[in-house]
Amino acid sequence: MRLYDASVRELRYITPNEPAAWIDCPSEAIPAPGRYSAAWSVADSSAPLSTPLFAAQIAQDGFLAAPPIPSSWEPGAKLELRGPLGRGFTLPASARRLALAALAETSARLLPLIPMALQSDLAVALFSDFPIPDIPSAVEIYPVQDLPEALAWADLLLLDAPVSELERLRVKLHLKPEDWLPCPAQALVLTAMPCSGIAECGACFVPGRHRWKQACQDGPVFDLNELSW
């Protein structure tokens, strides 16, 4: 996997508590929605672990890396990026009504999907219980408690959730153990990915329906039917 030179242009607060970082880098290093790039600080070459960076906004010359980012990163910091890595979200051509649900403390990792969906004339609804950055007025915003009612409306559900939320997902969606979702669903499962696929360390295991899956390689975006939840 090729390494790319990159740098932190600026820090931005798109959520109240944690900054995002605008990363200047070659277009080949920019992760598509749901995929990630592994980043190292050049100044901290002794750091053994990389930081997985997900895009909150994408441009031709870089991307806004969603929080969290290392607290030591400052504007001008030189980085090395490896990637993009993993499996990301897909928007089927047949989709017309898209429900985005942020079950983590930020909707940032879902934001790059919005311009893609609107450009394809999809109706978009975003479900979150946390502050949402400025987004196009065409997007409807609801609390997560309204998500079960939206399942009959949506023909595609895209989730962003910590791995710990999987065992509570049926309760949040008002589904019984034997129920299936009424629409296709994909989930970006957030878990520690310390080796970013290099060592297959197993720290990022996610419960699959038939076997454990590695978020760093098999995901981090999964068809929800592939998972045990």
Express each pLDDT in 133-165 by its tens digit.
Answer: 889 999 999 999 999 999 999 999 999 999 999
109-139, pLDDT tens digit by residue? Answer: 999 999 999 999 999 999 999 988 889 999 9
CATH architecture classification, 3-85: Beta Barrel (2.40)
Encoded tokens for 173: 């969606």
Residue range(s) in the chain whose domain bears CATH number 3.40.50: 97-226
Those residues whose C-beta lies under 8 Å from the C-beta of residue 220, and which sit 6 or more positions away, are 34, 35, 36, 86, 87, 188, 189, 190, 191, 193, 204
**pLDDT averaged over the chain?**
92
96-113, pLDDT tens digit by residue? Answer: 999 999 999 899 999 999
185-199, pLDDT tens digit by residue? Answer: 999 999 988 777 675
pTM for this predicted structure: 0.93
Q: Are 159 and 185 in contact (CB under 8 A)?
A: yes
Residue 47 reports pLDDT greater than 80: no
Residue 206 reports pLDDT greater than 80: yes
Q: What is the dihedral of CA 129, 133, 136, 138, to 10 degrees?
A: 10
Per-residue pLDDT, 59: 96
Domain 97-226 has CATH 3.40.50: yes
Determine the average pLDDT of the residues in 153-178.
Answer: 94
DSSP state for residue 216 in the 8-state scheme: T
